[in-house]
Homo-oligomer: A and B are copies of this chain.
Amino acid sequence: MSRTQQMMTTHPRTEGTPAQDHAVLAAITALNGCAQTCTSCTDACLADEDVSHMTACIRRNQDCADLCRVTADILTRRTDPHDTLIQQVLLACRTACNACAIECGKHDHPHCRICADTCNGAELALKDLLQPPSITPHRTA
């Protein structure tokens, strides 16, 4: 059992179903890993000989790292959650992961390929937590 899971199971608030908790746990783990990978890819791009061609990639990595971290923190907090806020953050974070995966996918650098894979994994984990649009009227309000 990972530390993240141990912390989740010993938290006083344990209202989630096992399936929900599993999806949240998977997302927190994927997002923290993605934030770390994007921070590393930002710096690897900066150290690259052709850094002038990597500026869009650096930008995508920065936004993705920032959003993954905040989203992981918001999912980690179980005290008085705000469902609309969570759904909107998940949506923004998924867009950031998707955009970073696409941009990193354009480059042959091994660090970009690993990063694209990581972002795709994070996007998939987020999808499991996003409710279908038909039952999330707040997103069209």
Residue of B nearest to A85 (CB): B95
Copy number in the complex reads 4
Could you say which of B8, B47, B62, B74 contacts A12, with CB atoms under 8 Å apart? B47
Chain A residues near B (Cβ < 8 Å): 3-4, 6-8, 10-13, 28, 32-33, 36-37, 39-41, 43-44, 46-49, 51-52, 55-56, 58-60, 62-63, 66-67, 69-70, 72-74, 76-82, 84-85, 88-89, 91-92, 95-96, 99, 109-111, 114-115, 118, 133, 138-141
Q: 19 A-B residue contacts at CB 8 Å?
A: A3-B118, A4-B36, A7-B114, A12-B44, A39-B77, A43-B77, A43-B79, A46-B79, A47-B55, A51-B55, A52-B52, A56-B80, A59-B77, A59-B81, A66-B73, A84-B95, A85-B99, A89-B92, A133-B140
